[in-house]
Structure 1
Amino acid sequence: MSNQAEFKTSLLLMFRARIPFISIRSIERTRVLEVIQQLAEEINIPIYVHNLSHGTMDIKTKNSVNEDRSVAGGLDFAVQNISQRQNLTFVFTELSDIEDDNLVSRHIYDCVIQAIARGGCICVITTKSIWPQLQRLGMTITLDAPNEEEMLEVVKDCVTPYIGSIPIEWDEDDFKIAASTLANMTKIEAENVLATQMAKGSLTKEDISELSNAKDKLFSDISGLEKVKLDPSTLSVAGLSGLQSWLDNQKQLLTADLKSRKLRPPRGVLLVGVPGCGKSLSAKFIAANWNLPLFRLDLAAIQGQYLGQSENRLKEALASADNAAPCILWIDEIEKGLSGATGANDGGTSTRMVGQFLFWLQESMAKVFVVSTANDVSKLPPELLRKGRFDELFFVDLPAEQERKDIINLYVKRNLLNQPSPETLKRLIQISDGFAGSDIEGAVRDVAIQAVIHGDEFINDELYEKCFKNIVPLSKTAPERIEAIRLWGRERAVPASGASWNSSIESESGKRSIIL
């Protein structure tokens, strides 16, 4: 059953049970009133709606019954009529200051007490919490934004009337993709986006990608959540074949219908390993390859100075990511944002943030694929590594010989440089033993800088070797730290390269001492 159908059924039962106070949580007032109007006609009960523009009117006939547009006037009118007639229902759409004990909330409280005696019902449509003493007199119900099933109907209702009037290239699959893209937007937001696309006089298959861009603009203005612009021409990943193969399978699951098998969408991947080996680049590559928007969750920007502020900001950011689904959520160096959970004296804020993040990671059913990266795994809370949080834990190691060759060729091609000779390429592969991908990029970039300064004719094999020999990798400046990271990865994670750990260790025998 869809969300709106569940909402309608539950609200119908509350009306029939004559619950004296009903708080309806929703940002879509128009959609809620549409459902209430349907119920008023189906079960033939008198329902009156109050707003600040028209006062109180009959929801079925749209006739005004009280022109006093103030909240106090609307409540007084409701109390007067409830005392004279039984089984009346009044809906208030624009109430403020009902979170605490004040004159407005007490006025509503007195009105509800009167409704209890006469079988009346007071409904409020709000996005805020309710004064607890008032809320205990009734029940709460929520209408979320349309899910995929409901959004499919919205899309078809919006587009179908124009078939024959303008060129429309969409087929049934395109309608489903559009519904998946626009899901979790409000109905009016989705209709506005579709109307804007059709205003140019046609609806093409290319317009589907524009739907995602329009949705991004609505959900990226949240503290700590940043929309990342991608340039697919610069996003190529060499090596990491094991990770890429696994991601290909996850991409199919992200678009498949998993409801019949009671499966949740892919949750994400945690990438740990040596700094500079492509973990952050992989997040951008996934978003570009899957043609999904990429959002970066900055845990440092979420931190607030007041009690509970950090947790609320994190909740808002994760809720925005759910609303922006399907999307990729990138959390870079997650151990730095959550490190307080392992012992920092911050009043328990980090611990609560970890708990909230893990709960969302476990329970959210939105198509948000999380790509988290970490360098210092010792600072990660142990519960984050438990199976079931992320779909897989990959270790990104220093590139092996073939991977270094692929990375060198990748950056030489990207920087439009002349290829080194085969013999020189072999020497560069040997020189770069122990290099991270960023070290190789830096060496090739130095060659490219000389090409810009002196011209391409200045580039030769000797310059390649010189630039590579000038690089001092982290594996040499901090060998103990890098070896500790690699040892952790071999024991606890899946190799992102796709090669088994045994083969990796055998290929390094004689080159360096490895303690297992």
Structure 2
Amino acid sequence: MSSKSERKKLMANLFKARFPFLYLATWEEGRALSFIRSIASDEDLIKTPRRVITWKITTGMSGEESNKAGTKSALKALEFIEDYQEPAIFVLQDFHIFFGDVGRLPDAQVIRKLRDISISLKQSSKPKNVVFLSPKLKFPDDLEKDITIVDFDLPTFQEIKQSLDEMISLNKQGGRIEISLNEEEKEKLVNAALGLTLSEAENAFARAMVEDGRLSIDDVEIVLEEKEQIIKKTGILEFVTNNLNMEDVGGLENLKRWLRKRDKSWLESAQKYGLPSPKGVLITGVPGCGKSLISKAISEMWQLPLLRLDIGKIFSGVVGSSEENMRQAIQTTEAIAPSILWIDEIEKGFSGLGSSGDSGTSSRIFGQFLTWMQEKVKPVFVIATANDIASLPPEMLRKGRFDEIFFVDLPTHRERVEIFKVHLKKRLIDSTVTGDFEITIDKLDYLAKLTEGFVGAEIEQVVINGLFEAFYEDRSVTINDFEKVCKQFIPLSVTQAEQIKSIRDWANVRAVAATPREDRAEYKENDETVSIDDINTSRGGRTIDF
């Protein structure tokens, strides 16, 4: 549901319509009970106020008149519900243990008794309902037609913000914590906590306050650490932590600009423009040109958690478990939204499509994933990378699944200059190694000319191998070290020339170039400037700039 008031109205209508059994699957018992009690006492919502009576296997029914010791038994508790003569809502906590699980059969007597009282609850002179409140959704097929599942979402933005405001307000009344947050930063901190239970969010905020005696936008990292615990428990998704940022990615300015324009688009401030949160991008291109690198850097730019989905972990030998694994991965990703879901080399994950060896499991998983991408409303940004995009089925590439398809080609001269600058600055940090070597534009320009046709990963290796030359001789590095390596290196553009041409031909009309028009205009071949038309022919990707 879109808001707490809408959820309350739905629940109240189910109570008024005499739905006998409702099921709420949530870990937040306290919040759920508070939610139910607020409805039961609201005459505007429910017309006839009702008493809320809870049951636990450890204490039985709440209330003195229920004879707690006698109602610890599930059957006795159900008999008590059947005989109760006042308007009431009965909340049975952890009742799923009687519905069976792995290695445990359902309790036949309890299930039969539930079916018996279902009709009496509907026909009772006083309105009565039963709510099953459990951390997991589990019930037998016998009760499938009697139980109504009600989604109990995690706390909304407003609920978490209200909790944070209350904590800040209490601190102002005598606390010693420095609060350094403007409204936009507070919004980012609350968004980082979306996907946590209210208790988990409050714990994260409290930890952030006490760690350095200050609450600021920097504490987003602490909140994300709490989210990491959720990811670790799935075993399917990986929470990716890295120190990369966009400055570590040389070139690709067209793609960077596109991403910068969509930063903060999941915040409430974007709603006045009527903007939806972006769906995602598919990044294809020559191997080693920075597709995975920029995928990681987006997380730092947007300050959102980055989750990597390994399609291989989705598939399992147990019939039906692969589909459940995909559902669990999607639910977990949405639970911590806004977030970024990264699928590296997606074409390999769905390579089994169309084969009969897995009884159609791959096709079902693929269809499930596509449907979610098309219809998802939670702010989950999907980044998929592919080397061999031609092997992907056409339904994945159509508009609506991804916002844009970007093509990452061999780096241009200007991009190679930037890539060399990034890697040299990153590694030349000791004065004894640097010596007289200075990172100047002339040196960068010279190295960029020597590495025509090199991919970003190969340029990084040139820097590393050049430093090994100096390390071996225990001296400062010189330009000759890098020059020597460049002349010995055989780049991918030579060893896989045919494959790269094929990728470019595909991308020339189907993808947008990650490199902007002005950079490609400076692309040089045999020291002669090539025209825009020539560049578009020789270097794939449509000339759309953002």
Common topology (TM > 0.5): yes
Q: Distance in 2 between matches of 1:181 and 1:257?
A: 16
Partner in structure 1 of residue 156 of structure 2: 147
Superposition pairs of residues 489-500 of structure 1, within 5 angstroms: 489-499=507-517
1:377 is displaced (CA, Å) by: 0.8
- Structure 1 residues 168 and 70 mapped into 2: Cα distance closer, same or farther (>3 Å)? farther
Q: Distance in 1 between matches of 2:14 and 2:535?
A: 74
Q: Is the 8 A contact 1:50 1:69 kept in 2?
A: no
Q: Is the 8 A contact 1:92 1:124 kept in 2?
A: yes
1:74 is displaced (CA, Å) by: 4.3
Q: Is the 8 A contact 2:20 2:130 kept in 1?
A: yes
Q: Is residue 26 from structure 1 mapped to residue 26 from structure 2 by the alignment?
A: yes
- Structure 1 residues 432 and 12 mapped into 2: Cα distance closer, same or farther (>3 Å)? same
Deviations, residues 96-135 of structure 1 (Å, cap 9, x unaligned): 2426864132232223233234253222123314334423
The AA in structure 1 aligned to 2:130 is: I
Q: Distance in 1 between matches of 2:352 and 2:324?
A: 17
TM-score normalised by length of structure 2: 0.85
- Structure 1 residues 69 and 175 mapped into 2: Cα distance closer, same or farther (>3 Å)? farther
1:49 is displaced (CA, Å) by: 1.1
Partner in structure 2 of residue 67 of structure 1: 68
Q: Distance in 1 between matches of 2:499 and 2:326?
A: 31
Q: Is the 8 A contact 1:23 1:140 kept in 2?
A: yes
Superposition pairs of residues 42-441 of structure 1, within 5 angstroms: 42-43=42-43, 44-58=49-63, 63=64, 65-68=66-69, 73-80=73-80, 82-83=82-83, 85=85, 87-95=87-95, 96-98=97-99, 102-103=107-108, 104-118=110-124, 119-126=127-134, 127-166=136-175, 167-169=177-179, 170-199=181-210, 202-205=213-216, 206-232=218-244, 236-255=248-267, 257-260=269-272, 262-343=274-355, 345-416=357-428, 417=434, 418-419=437-438, 426-441=445-460
- Structure 1 residues 426 and 35 mapped into 2: Cα distance closer, same or farther (>3 Å)? closer
172-181 or 491-500, which deviates more: 172-181
86-95 or 183-192, which deviates more: 86-95
- Equivalent of residue 499 in structure 2, options 481, 498, 505: 481
Q: Is residue 4 from structure 1 mapped to residue 4 from structure 2 by the alignment?
A: yes
6-15 or 275-284, which deviates more: 6-15
Q: Is the 8 A contact 2:255 2:515 kept in 1?
A: yes
Q: Distance in 2 between matches of 1:455 and 1:146?
A: 59
Q: Secondary structure at the match of 2:251?
A: coil
Deviations, residues 230-265 of structure 1 (Å, cap 9, x unaligned): 123796111101011111101142335344555421
Q: Is residue 454 from structure 1 mapped to residue 466 from structure 2 by the alignment?
A: no
Q: Is residue 36 from structure 1 mapped to residue 36 from structure 2 by the alignment?
A: yes
Q: Distance in 2 between matches of 1:85 and 1:39?
A: 20
Q: Secondary structure at the match of 2:41?
A: helix
Identity of aligned residues (%): 31
The AA in structure 1 aligned to 2:387 is: N
Partner in structure 2 of residue 469 of structure 1: 487
Deviations, residues 295-352 of structure 1 (Å, cap 9, x unaligned): 2111122221122222211221222222222332221111111122254632212211
The AA in structure 1 aligned to 2:279 is: R
Q: Is the 8 A contact 1:220 1:226 kept in 2?
A: yes
1:507 is displaced (CA, Å) by: 5.2
Q: Secondary structure at the match of 2:265?
A: helix
In structure 2, the gaps of 5 or more residues are: 44-48, 429-433, 541-546
The AA in structure 2 aligned to 1:156 is: D
The AA in structure 2 aligned to 1:164 is: Q
In structure 1, the gaps of 5 or more residues are: none
Q: Distance in 1 between matches of 2:439 and 2:84?
A: 94
- Structure 1 residues 401 and 174 mapped into 2: Cα distance closer, same or farther (>3 Å)? closer
46-55 or 212-221, which deviates more: 212-221
Q: Distance in 2 between matches of 1:462 and 1:502?
A: 28
Paired residues, what number?
510
Q: Is the 8 A contact 2:467 2:481 kept in 1?
A: no
- Structure 1 residues 328 and 81 mapped into 2: Cα distance closer, same or farther (>3 Å)? closer
Q: Distance in 1 between matches of 2:83 and 2:66?
A: 16
Deviations, residues 439-482 of structure 1 (Å, cap 9, x unaligned): 1111111001122232343x333332220122111221121111
Cα RMSD (Å): 3.0
Q: Secondary structure at the match of 2:42?
A: helix
TM-score normalised by length of structure 1: 0.89
Deviations, residues 6-27 of structure 1 (Å, cap 9, x unaligned): 2221221222222222222333
The AA in structure 2 aligned to 1:154 is: S
1:429 is displaced (CA, Å) by: 2.8
106-115 or 332-341, which deviates more: 106-115
Q: Distance in 2 between matches of 1:201 and 1:462?
A: 48
